Amino acid sequence: MHEGSVSLSGRWRLWDQVAVRGAGFPADGVLRLAPEGLAAAADKFGPRDDLSGGAWKAFEEEFTQAAGRAATSAQEIAASGSFRAAVAWQNRGVLDTAIRPFLNWSPTTAGRTFKQRQREELVAHYWQRFCVKNDTIGFFGPVGWGAFDPSRPGMAVDPGTGLTASSEVFWSSWSVDSLAREIDTDPALRPWTAPRRVPFVRLEENAVRTPARPPRPVAPETVRLLRLCDGTRSVPALQREMGPGTDVPALLDDLVRLRWITWRLDVPADIRPDRRLRACLERIGEPALRAAALARMDELQSAIETVRAAAEDPERLVTALSSVEQTFQQVTDAAAKREKSTTTAPGRAVVYSDSRRAARVTLGSHVLAALAPLDLLMSAAAWLSSTLAARVTERVTGVYERLRADAGPGRPVDLAAFWFACMPVLHGAAVADADGLQAEFERRWQRILPASAGVRRVSVAGADIAGRVAEVFGSAGAPGWAAARYMSPDVMIAAEDASCVERGEFHLTLGELHLAANTLGNELFVNQHPDPRELFDRTDRDHPAPRLMPLLPKEHKSRLSARIRHALVRPQDYQVALLDNTADPYRDRTVPSADAVVERRDGRLCVVLPDGAVFPAVEVFAHVLTTLVTDRFRLLPEADHSPRVTIDRMTVARETWRFTGPALAFADDKSEARRFVRHPSRWGGPLHRPRTSRG
């Protein structure tokens, strides 16, 4: 067993570091929106009862009174400073457009109109999230940390002082990019902006080649200039290297038109993009221009400092956030909130907040022993990722063979051309492969678990099914790609308190099992760790050798934003730029895809980097493969009803119901009372969902 990890019962081991997720408001606060006794009163009516007559009229009156009390409770919640502060960080504009009008509404002088009910629902939506969602954002979902300590039996919770130990305000990546674009509009700054070759532009002797196109002959000085365009040399530096006989600015303009270089103020991807932009601006060689550019950044920075200073006072915070938005619009001439689109991560404000929870949790041997079923689950899931990797590798090997035949004898297949040619596989056949493998994964589990049709509970002992798991999913094989050796389970502990865990009186529930990803490596976790070096140490133990990691876009709608980018990238790791140059150009071991080649070595398809380093070709598809597989873990196929499945002391699949078509007709009823009574959760038969104490 490695230092920094704890062993499960078989193939797998766990990091001794654990992230602790939770809500930022008391969980029982959600009951403030549940009128006491109303659910029990509704249960008097069956799913097919005629909702009319005296009893129904009495219930309607009771419902109306309860709805009024719930609206009053929602107003009290909306008026609290901590609630408004949390909403301000999520969407400040909602405070003006919905929360303020809702607080000004008086139930004694105005009825519950459609608009007012919408505002109630909005408050309820936020309040439920703040109270019961295991979140990781801001003070209303601060990132917590803990550790395994097998030398102790139970569980210890150090509550710390207050809810959060620290809070930070971050610039959003898109807002810094907007500021950079505005600064970049000054033509006087362009000579100080370092151009950069597009990653998929391959340089050959007196020619330039791009994927799927014939080589284009160019002058030797063009090739030489393209080699120098690495994002670190400004125009004066390029001019010195090219000599006085070359009109560098004119040649760069031509290269931009050909889309062989980018020549703009690009900010490297980072959780702190403002620092990256400042470093870029400080390289401007003309003092007056540098000062003017930095002054624009400082103006916005000053407004953000007021947010940091006002973080503890909700009223001041809302004012400060409003001031940041106004300053941002003045400085950048851009909207202060990015809209959602089909190609970017969801819209965000100019700044956001992340916090670290003050509490720290230590988990002992009892919890570790109860986690034993994870070994079976993860061993089975490894089949899914390794099989997908094998199928994709087989498909892209066929692509490579076609490219090699087209290239002719002695000509290499560069990684850029290979990557582009593989797009139909990655976004077509590989998706179908992942769908088919998930269905097969569920079918194999049906051979392992007892028949579940018509039952609500399935319980098995791990020891009884371990042999079947090994038989059905085979022996442990290679993970497929480097990131696939990680799996990240979300596990909840059900216990009255820590002393119950000490006595062994607890139960575990698996929320999700994310495949082929180490979620603790995401920026939002790494940057809220008391000592990030501990996470890097554990990464070193898992990966003693350098890794090849695809360089990703800054943000994308598919699981990619600054907060969830993988941050555990070490100096010895290689990053290959496939489409986007989002890394710091001064970082060593960042390789444009056109400069790497694809070869067969010892029967394997490999990527060979300019310095001779060799990696399996599947590594360049790592992010795509992880995206395809990460949420595929599901033991049972989708059905109208699925039972709860428990292995030993861990629930590994929760009981679920799904409703479609006629079952959802109640939603069209204009009567709130009727919708409440006709909701499927109130039906008899197999659906008996647990009641809260408010019943």
* Residue of 228, 227, 230 whose CA lies nearest to 208: 227
Residues 367 and 427 in one domain: yes
Digit-coded pLDDT (tens) for 595-644: 999 999 999 999 999 999 999 999 999 999 999 999 999 999 999 899 99
Decide: 234 and 285 in contact? Cβ < 8 Å.
yes
Q: Please indicate, yes or no, whether residues 345 and 314 belong to a single structural domain of this protein.
A: yes
- How confident is the model at residue 692, as a pLDDT? 43
In a domain, 645, yes or no: no
Domain that holds residue 128: 24-133
116 and 198 in a common domain = no
Instruction: Please check whether residues 207 and 247 belong to one and the same domain.
Output: yes
- 316 and 370 in a single domain? The answer is no
Query: Which pLDDT score is estimated for 633?
Result: 96
Residues 216 and 174 in one domain: yes
Residue 140 lies in a domain: no
- Tell whether 422 and 335 lie within a shared domain: no
519 and 376 assigned to the same domain:
yes
pLDDT of residue 695: 42
Quote the CA–CA distance of 523 and 340 in Å, as a whole number. 22
Give the count of domains, the chain: 3
**Confidence (pTM):** 0.91
Give the per-residue pLDDT at 560: 65
For residues 532 and 526, give the distance between their C-alpha atoms in angstroms, rounded to a whole number: 6
Provide DSSP, 582-621. -S-TT-TTEEEGGG-EEEEETTEEEEE-TTS-EEEGGGGG
Residue 358 lies in a domain: no
Instruction: Examine the domain organization and report whether 574 and 599 are in the same domain.
Output: yes
Boundary residue ending a domain (325, 352, 379): 352
- The DSSP symbol for 191 reads G
pLDDT digits (tens, 9 = 90+) for 330-372: 999 877 655 554 344 444 789 999 999 999 999 999 999 999 9
CA terminus-to-terminus distance, the chain:
49
Q: What would the pLDDT profile of 117-149 be if each residue is shown by its tens digit?
A: 999 999 999 999 999 999 899 999 999 999 999
User: Around Cβ 540, how many Cβ atoms within 10 Å?
Assistant: 13
The maximal CA–CA distance of the chain, rounded, in angstroms, is: 98
Q: Of 636, 609, 466, give the one whose Cα is nearest residue 546.
A: 609
Please indicate, yes or no, whether residues 346 and 367 belong to a single structural domain of this protein: no
CA pair distance 76, 79, nearest whole angstrom: 5
Q: Which residues of the chain have pLDDT under 70?
A: 1-3, 108-110, 336-347, 476, 556-560, 682-695
684 in a structural domain: no
Domain closes at, from 352, 375, 409: 352
Q: If phi over 0 gives left and psi between -120 and 50 gives alpha, with beta otherwise, what is residue 242?
A: alpha
Secondary structure of residue 539 in the 3-state scheme = helix
- Domain membership of residue 612 (yes or no) is yes
Q: Tell me the DSSP string of 100-121.
A: HHHHH--TTTS---HHHHHHHH
Dist CA 36 CA 56 (whole Å): 18
